[in-house]
Amino acid sequence: MLSNPEFLAEGTAIQDLTNPDRVLIGGQPTPEGREAIKALCWVYNHWIPAEKIITMNTWSSELSKLVSHSFEKKKKENQPYCGKYEQNG
C-alpha cells in the first residue's frame, strides 16, 4: 500500500498536476514497500524531475498533506490582514 497525497489547488489543478512543486510518495519500510515506492517513482520520473519526488513512510506522507492543507487554509484566512499591513508598511 502506498500513500501519494495530491497538492492540487482550485483553479490551477491541471498545472499543479503537470508541473508540481513536489510529489510525496509514502510506503511501508519493508522490501515490498520499497519496491512499490520505486515503481511509482519510475512512473513519475517520466515527467517530473527526480529532485521533486520525495519518498517517506506512509504516516509521514499523510501527515505532510494535512500540515500543508492546514497551512494553505491559514494563509488564505490571513490574506486580508497581510494585504492591509503591506499597504501601510
Judge residue 41's burial from the number of C-beta atoms within 10 Å of its C-beta, 0-12 exposed, 13-18 middle, 19 or more buried.
middle
pLDDT tens by residue, 39-66 = 999 999 999 999 999 999 999 998 988 8
Lowest mean pLDDT of 13-17, 25-29, 44-48, name the range: 13-17
Lowest mean pLDDT of 29-38, 47-56, 76-85, name the range: 76-85
- The strand order across the sheet containing 53-57 reads 2-3, 23-27, 53-57
Q: Give the rounded percent of residues in the chain with a pLDDT score beyond 90.
A: 43
Class of the CATH domain delimited by 2-88: alpha beta
Residue ranges of the domains in the chain?
Answer: 2-88
Tell me the average pLDDT across 3-21. 82
For residue 89, pLDDT beyond 80:
no
